[in-house]
Structures are given as structure tokens and as C-alpha cells.
Amino acid sequence: MKVEQRPAGSPSKEALTDKATLLTLYREMLLIRRFEEKTAEMYQAAKIGGFCHLNIGEEATIVGTISTLRPTDYVYSTYREHGHAIAKGIDPKAVMAELFGKETGTSRGRGGSMHLFSQEHRFYGGYAIVGQALPIACGSAYAINYEEKDEVVMSIFGDGATNIGAFHESLNVAKLWHLPIVFVCVNNLYGMGTAVSRASAVTEIWKKACAYDMTGERVDGMDVLAVRRITDQLVAQAREKHEPSLLECLTYRYRGHSMSDPDTYRGKDEIKEWQTRDAILSLGDYMKKQKMLDDQEIQKIDEEVTAQVEEAVKFAEESPEPDPKDLYRDVYADEVAS
């Protein structure tokens, strides 16, 4: 699918030159990449079952956005959320254990791939139903306003969600009630197997913000620094002015919609073309040019995150299964009712 860039263009890489920050972004993106590659491997080895959607290719949209948040800010995500959970600070071990369905997972094995959760990290969920979390995210943002806190909610979803009623209901109240929320649309050009142009009357998703008189931005979702810079502005706008916004990140998933998707609706050339713009490689190249990083250091970072992922797998494999008796736990907070 051909993508029209927004004429205004993305903010430039030069805006961010602090080496420590760039290294963190690089490491985080690579960790998510290696985590997801290992997840695919574990799925193929039947260690992970069910339905599984990978973030591979979209790392810049994850790290570029979530890295702008404070630990006290909130993230609501979708079923393609392993990377979001890790970026929000959840230990990859707990994420992998949840993918394995183990007792030590983020939801004690009840959720699996699509339903990660952590109260402690204010990661308020993967949601398997498209568009489901947007009104809920607005509720959290409403509570922030009511309690006069300076926290921000980030609601992340795909291009497919922007055709659902809940998306429009949510943008409407966000603007109406001045909610401190940033809506992040990860536009990977396909809603499952259907191209955006065949599912959405408006293919430039950022323009949908206009209907609600809301700030709308489009950014190159393969450029982590561009994503980070614009998100930083939108988060500040939400925090300081209580003005919501819609950010569209143009990106691409290298794998199919899910692990069981044969991916027959996209050309191999299209996939290869997007891979030439890989977010991790291009940040690495940029840092090398800036003399912030060399091949040896890149190799070292890769070895470290790979070891971290291996450790997560080991932890998941060695963790116990949930007790069948726990089937009846937590139906109600008030256990008398259960």
C-alpha cells in the first residue's frame, strides 16, 4: 500500500542528541525485537499457545511514545501489546510467563498474550476487542481531572479501531471534558488482512481528529526520535493544558497479523521495502555516524538483551502452572459472592 506522507514532515532527528537517552531507546527497541522473535520461536515450538500478535517492525512507535511518560502515567493498549508492556516497565520475565500461561505471569496465566496487565506499572491492559479500551481510558483520564492530579493517559490502538463507534465516542468526550489523554494510532496499514484504504473512508487517520477540533499529528513511525519528539509535545499538552490529541504513527508489521496469518495479502517487495527503513537499524546507523556507538557496542547490547530474553524464557519454563482450584478465584472482589 502506498502511503502519502504528511506535507509538514516529521520533526528531525537532530532534535535529540543526548547519548544516554538514545542508548536507552536503542536498547529498549532491540529488547522488544529480540523478545518478539523469541516469542515466535516459542510459539512455533508449541511452548506458547492460543492467539499471538507480534510487534516486530513497530518498535519505534512503542518506545518513541511510552518513553515520554512518567511511571505514574497510564497506558492502555491492544492485543498487540507485548512491547508496550515491556516499555512501560514490566519485567520481560513476567510478560513471557504470561505468554506461557504460568502462575508467575502478569495475570497469573489467565490472560495470555492479548491480556497483559499490571497495576503496579500502570499498564492498564491489553484488550482483545478492537476499540474496547478507548472509553475506559477516558474514564481514567476523567478521574485524573476530578482528583486534580497531573498524570496523563496514553491510549494506544491500531488503524482498525478508528472505524469503530467507541473511537468516536471517546475522542468526543476527551475534547468535551478536556481530558489529559493522548490517543496513539499505530497505523501499520492493514486492519488484519484488509488495507486501510479499503476499510477507512479517510486514510490519513490524523485527520479524524479534526471532527473533534482536536490536535491531530502524523509522524514517521519508523523514526523513534521523531515519534518521541512529537509525543513529548502532545504529552505536555495533555498534562499542562488538559488538551487531548490524536497521533498517527505510520509503521509496518513485518510479520502477519497473528502467528496464524499466512500473510497472503501483502507483496514480498512491500515488506522488504519497509524493512529497509527499519527503526532499530536506522537509529544504530545514526548513532554510529554521530560517533556515539560502534559495531562492537551494538554487538554487546544485542548480547545483553538476548540474554535477558533467554532468562525470561527460562523463568517462564520453570514457573509453575496455576492451581486448578484457582479457577474460582477473583470472580468477585467480595469473595462471599463467589
Partner 1 sequence: MAVKTVIEAIREGMDEEMARDESVFLIGEDVGNRGGVFLASDGLFKKYGELRVIDSPLAESCIVGVAIGAAINGMKPIAEIQFADFIAPAMNQIIEEAARFCYRTAGDFNLPMVIRAPWGGGVHGALYHSQSIEATFGHIPGLKVVVPGTPADAKGLLKAAVRDPDPVLYLEHKRTYRLVKGEVPDGDGVVPIGKADVKRQGKDLSLIAYGLMLTYCLEAAEKLAAEGVSAEVLDLRTIKPIDQAAIIATARKTGKVLVVHEDNRFAGIAAEVMAIIMENAFDALDAPVMRLTGPDVPAMPFNHVLEEAFMPNVDKILAKARELAAY
Residues within the interface to partner 1 (CB under 8 A): 107-108, 110-111, 115, 117-119, 124-125, 127, 129, 132, 134-147, 165-166, 169-170, 172-173, 176, 329-334, 336-337
The stretches of the chain forming alpha helices (DSSP H) are 19-44, 59-66, 82-87, 92-99, 133-146, 165-176, 196-199, 224-241, 268-275, 279-289, 295-318
How many Cα atoms within 13 Å fall on the side-chain side of residue 121? 20
Residue 50's SS3 state is coil
Tell me how far, at minimum, the Cβ of 97 lies from partner 1, in Å: 12
Tell me how far, at minimum, the Cβ of 53 lies from partner 1, in Å: 17
Q: Which is nearer to partner 1, 134 or 234 (CB)?
A: 134
Tell me how far, at minimum, the Cβ of 186 lies from partner 1, in Å: 20
Q: Which is nearer to partner 1, 179 or 283 (CB)?
A: 179
Q: Which is nearer to partner 1, 1 or 164 (CB)?
A: 164
Q: Which is nearer to partner 1, 51 or 265 (CB)?
A: 51
The residues pairing with 205 across neighbouring beta strands, listed in sequence order, are: none
Question: One-letter amino acid identity for 129?
Answer: I
The C-alpha angle 229, 230, 236, rounded to 5 degrees, equals: 95
The stretches of 90-218 forming alpha helices (DSSP H) are 92-99, 133-146, 165-176, 196-199
Q: Which is nearer to partner 1, 74 or 254 (CB)?
A: 74
Tell me how far, at minimum, the Cβ of 135 lies from partner 1, in Å: 2
Q: Which is nearer to partner 1, 67 or 106 (CB)?
A: 106
Characterize the bridge pairing of strands 194-195 and 190-191: antiparallel
In whole angstroms, give the CA distance from residue 293 to residue 287: 6
Tell me how far, at minimum, the Cβ of 99 lies from partner 1, in Å: 15
Tell me how far, at minimum, the Cβ of 328 lies from partner 1, in Å: 10
